[in-house]
Structure 1
Amino acid sequence: MVAVASERIHASYWLETGDDPAHAAEVIAGEQSSGTFLKLANETPELKERSGARVERLEVIDTSTAPSLPGGMAGSTYTRCQLELSWPLENLGPSLTNLMATVAGNLFELRQVSGLRITDLKLPPAFAAAYPGPAFGITGTRRLSGVAQGPLIGTIIKPSVGLSPEQTAEQVRLLIDGGIDFIKDDELQADGPHCPFDERVRAVMRVVNDGAEALGRKPMVAFNITGDLDQMRHRHDLVLELGGTCVMASLNAIGLVGLIELRRHSSLPIHGHRAGWGWLSRCPALGWDYGPWQQIQRLAGADHLHVNGLANKFSEPDDSVIAAARAVLKPMFDGAPMAAMPVFSSGQTGKQAPGTFAALGTADLIHAAGGGIFGHPGGVAAGVTAFRQAWDAAMAGTPLQDHAVKHAELRQALEFW
């Protein structure tokens, strides 16, 4: 698709600077488009008008007497602002990899910057034409898993590593006997000599295919295929050949090109794990908000995206978790919504079900509990049942304690959750 002059890319930032904010904004805009550290004759007014980044908005928020990040321009006052920049699409075309270099490139390193965080991203429709986005999303995931409504009750194989292929398959058998909807490898479980990928998939899929006959549906297993491109293609093809219905990749490990190429090759939903998200986000003065980051992952082809979970074991607060899930569900383009399925995990139990449903307002999600299922005193099957009972109560608006009166598995679970 040929870009037209009116099509522009917009990115918003939280900016802190020891420089005059207007000058800092212009330096950033120049660095990320047609300018450099000194004025060149070839950067004519006409060229700058055509190809330069624009400062669309600059609003001062407050000031600080100390910089958030080291190595910046020294000053007695550091001004914090909301900054919005835009670029003509014709600078780069609808290219996700070059988009990253444009909106998240050298601007973080400028001396004028003592803090910078990407807070929003608005892309022209040309990106929707260039990238198909999730192939399955919510609708395809529900169809393949046989779960028409409610959340997909999920889990992570525990222990995360250390089990043999046969031991892993036995854990899967127990989960299927309990009526599980979704199972995933831990992101640490790859292709080690103690549990080779091919052997693990063959052992697990024997159990899954047998269990599907008894359940009348096939539980979805997200096998971790993270690797180089040839490895991921081979692993995907094996899962597909054996009747599997999902593959998983660690997005920050395989990178944008890895996800784009996996999407082109894949005939299965891609479960996108955000392992490493903390180094992109945890410093409030540096990195990314989840909203703009997940847009890029959805465009590249992720069908499921991790968003952490309420009352999680990590550092992320609940309001940030819900904002992340809402971002994953939010349409991106008119006529091409590219909806993905949010995945709640991290120290989850059925106790988080009521709050998750109330805050999100939908059950179009995967809720994965590891220890919250495997630790049930009645066994793994009882753990799956208790987790589902908690969600039944949440969607009905019934307090968990009231629902537990007539549901023994939930009653037992509440004592150890």
Structure 2
Amino acid sequence: MADMIEASYLIETPLDPAKVAEVMAGEQSCGTFTRVHGETDDLRARARAIVESVEELPPADTPSLPNTWLERQRTPGPWRRARIRISFPTANIGPNLPTLAATVAGNLYDLGEVTGLRLVDVKLPAAYRRQFDMPRHGVAGTRRLTGVAEGPLVGSIIKPNVGLSAEQTGELVGTLCAAGLDFIKDDEICADPAHAPLAQRIPAVMARVRRHQDRTGKHVMVAFNITDETDAMRRHADLVEREGGSCVMVSLNWCGYSAVQTLRRHSGLALHGHRNGFGAFSRHPLLGIGFDAYQALWRLAGVDHMHVHGLNGKFAQPDAEVIDGARASLAPLAEGTDDAVMPAFSSGQWAGTVPVTWEAVGTADLLFMSGGGIMAHPDGPAAGVLSIRQAWDAVRAGVSLDVAARDHAELRRALDFFGKKG
């Protein structure tokens, strides 16, 4: 329905899943564990969430999570699993992102009836989606800012992650700009350290970016990590703008929806959303939140880029989740909305992971970030960047990397060096 938000869940319970679904709907709308005075039929018709479907799945022999409420009642298994869809009236929430999150998730994780619950997806009506912030730049705007009309944006991360002085960081950025990068970002653990405060690091870095732009005409986008309390983030963003920068990065989970919304509305810079900590919400298959739902909520805050990790990377997420995350980021949140954000691939990426990335997503509308794959290339960072560009040119032309490497020494060296390490 046009005025309803639909959320999908995976649940586990020793009880009847259909009855648990009704508990979920009541708990997250106008009800509680029992009908209360004032909860009239008219009010329930207007404000109660609706269970749209319950699809039972094969049960489990043991519960996924402990549950004292069920243990007190000595409720036996089997532990029934089900996919559930529930619709919530938009009028209960309004254009209020923290309350939207509290509605589709919130206390559901604490319900006594379940031994597992995961928010899988959130679908929004178009009129409701338009009440929230759109990406200010997204895919097309990021391409305009960097001058990359086609192909992936090739990026890297400041390494060492933390410990460099502001001047050393500036020197490294100058080297990376000269190497031919489109995008450079701070690591998530380096925001405003004593040895390289942003007040010094931003001018030191941007002096090199401007110098490179004056020499080549190329603007390299640098995502400065300004993660902090809200007023500080606004000050840092203002300094980036004054220095001619185009992007800031925020650790989404630790700043929160409201702070990111405030920053989006304050600044015209591209907003690079870093998801560090997402594993705490997602790694257990019957707890937390799936990336489809996660990215939908954060896109309502107006981010322009979303981290999805990388294929064949160094982290725990399966490739299927990375692929689904990239596709979800590029898809509209609601019918008729032009609000795609650029997926950012990172974590153990190098020329050798390009083919599986292209095969999986079939688009070059992405950030392809490589730290070691660029800076540890045996012939230096410029050769590392070239090896990645050569790999992308090859796969987009339907040519294998081994064949392409016959004519490209940088790619050949990357395959020989990093391939042996894998």
TMscore range, shorter length: over 0.9
Q: Is the Cα–Cα contact under 8 Å of residues 94 and 126 in structure 1 kept in the other structure?
A: no
State the partner residue of 2:219.
Answer: 218
2:377 matches 1:382? no
Aligned mates of 1:412, 1:63 — CA distance in 2: 51
- Residue identity matched to 1:296: L
State the partner residue of 1:65.
Answer: 61
Which 10-residue stretch deviates more, 35-44 or 323-332?
35-44
- Residue identity matched to 2:15: D
2:292 matches 1:296? no
Q: Is the Cα–Cα contact under 8 Å of residues 172 and 204 in structure 1 kept in the other structure?
A: yes
Q: Is the Cα–Cα contact under 8 Å of residues 15 and 83 in structure 1 kept in the other structure?
A: yes
SS across alignment from 2:125: coil
State the partner residue of 2:37.
Answer: 41
SS across alignment from 1:192: coil
Q: Is the Cα–Cα contact under 8 Å of residues 2 and 125 in structure 2 kept in the other structure?
A: no
Q: Is the Cα–Cα contact under 8 Å of residues 299 and 338 in structure 1 kept in the other structure?
A: no
Which 10-residue stretch deviates more, 84-93 or 134-143?
84-93
- What residue ranges of structure 2 are gaps of 5+ in the alignment? none
- Deviation at 1:126? 3.2
Matches within 5 A, 1:97-176: 97-176=98-177
The superposition leaves residues 169-192 of structure 1 with CA deviations (integer Å, 9 ceiling, x where unpaired) of: 121111111111100000111111
- Deviation at 1:6? 5.1
State the partner residue of 2:49.
Answer: 53
Aligned mates of 2:215, 2:386 — CA distance in 1: 17
Aligned mates of 2:40, 2:230 — CA distance in 1: 43
State the partner residue of 2:417.
Answer: 416
In the alignment, which of 27, 33, 39 is matched to residue 23 of structure 2?
27
Q: Is the Cα–Cα contact under 8 Å of residues 135 and 269 in structure 1 kept in the other structure?
A: yes
State the partner residue of 1:9.
Answer: 5
Residues 1:387 and 1:6: Cα distance change in structure 2 (over 3 Å): closer
Aligned mates of 1:389, 1:305 — CA distance in 2: 25
2:371 matches 1:370? yes
- What residue ranges of structure 1 are gaps of 5+ in the alignment? none
Aligned mates of 1:132, 1:34 — CA distance in 2: 27
- Deviation at 1:276? 0.4
Aligned mates of 1:259, 1:116 — CA distance in 2: 27
- Deviation at 1:65? 2.2
Matches within 5 A, 1:317-336: 317-336=318-337
Q: Is the Cα–Cα contact under 8 Å of residues 3 and 128 in structure 2 kept in the other structure?
A: no
SS across alignment from 1:13: strand
- Deviation at 1:134? 0.4
State the partner residue of 1:76.
Answer: 77
- Deviation at 1:335? 3.3
- Deviation at 1:76? 2.2
Q: Is the Cα–Cα contact under 8 Å of residues 154 and 369 in structure 1 kept in the other structure?
A: yes
Aligned mates of 2:135, 2:161 — CA distance in 1: 27
SS across alignment from 1:324: helix
The superposition leaves residues 46-101 of structure 1 with CA deviations (integer Å, 9 ceiling, x where unpaired) of: 22122111111011111122111111523221110010111111112132111111
SS across alignment from 1:83: strand
- Deviation at 1:215? 2.4
State the partner residue of 2:397.
Answer: 396
- Deviation at 1:289? 1.0
Aligned mates of 2:211, 2:105 — CA distance in 1: 48
2:340 matches 1:339? yes
Aligned mates of 2:337, 2:85 — CA distance in 1: 25
Q: Is the Cα–Cα contact under 8 Å of residues 19 and 75 in structure 1 kept in the other structure?
A: no
- Deviation at 1:103? 0.5
- Deviation at 1:263? 0.7
* C-alpha RMSD of matched pairs (Å): 1.2
- Residue identity matched to 2:367: I
Q: Is the Cα–Cα contact under 8 Å of residues 137 and 303 in structure 1 kept in the other structure?
A: yes
- Residue identity matched to 1:336: T
Aligned mates of 1:336, 1:57 — CA distance in 2: 26
Aligned mates of 2:389, 2:168 — CA distance in 1: 25
Q: Is the Cα–Cα contact under 8 Å of residues 175 and 384 in structure 1 kept in the other structure?
A: no
Q: Is the Cα–Cα contact under 8 Å of residues 90 and 128 in structure 2 kept in the other structure?
A: no
The TM-score, its normalising length taken from structure 1, stands at: 0.97
Q: Is the Cα–Cα contact under 8 Å of residues 11 and 103 in structure 1 kept in the other structure?
A: yes
The superposition leaves residues 29-59 of structure 1 with CA deviations (integer Å, 9 ceiling, x where unpaired) of: 1111111122323222222122111111011
Aligned mates of 1:63, 1:315 — CA distance in 2: 26
- Deviation at 1:376? 0.8
- Residue identity matched to 2:96: S
Aligned mates of 1:76, 1:143 — CA distance in 2: 57
The superposition leaves residues 100-135 of structure 1 with CA deviations (integer Å, 9 ceiling, x where unpaired) of: 111011111011011111111111223333113200
* Identical residues among aligned pairs (%): 51
Matches within 5 A, 1:157-196: 157-196=158-197
Aligned mates of 2:240, 2:322 — CA distance in 1: 31
Aligned mates of 1:391, 1:170 — CA distance in 2: 28
Q: Is the Cα–Cα contact under 8 Å of residues 53 and 85 in structure 2 kept in the other structure?
A: yes
The superposition leaves residues 364-408 of structure 1 with CA deviations (integer Å, 9 ceiling, x where unpaired) of: 000000011110111122111112111111211211111111111
State the partner residue of 1:279.
Answer: 280
State the partner residue of 1:360.
Answer: 361
Residues 1:119 and 1:242: Cα distance change in structure 2 (over 3 Å): same
State the partner residue of 2:198.
Answer: 197
Aligned mates of 2:182, 2:77 — CA distance in 1: 57
SS across alignment from 1:130: coil
- Deviation at 1:273? 0.3
Aligned mates of 1:98, 1:61 — CA distance in 2: 30
Which 10-residue stretch deviates more, 120-129 or 302-311?
120-129
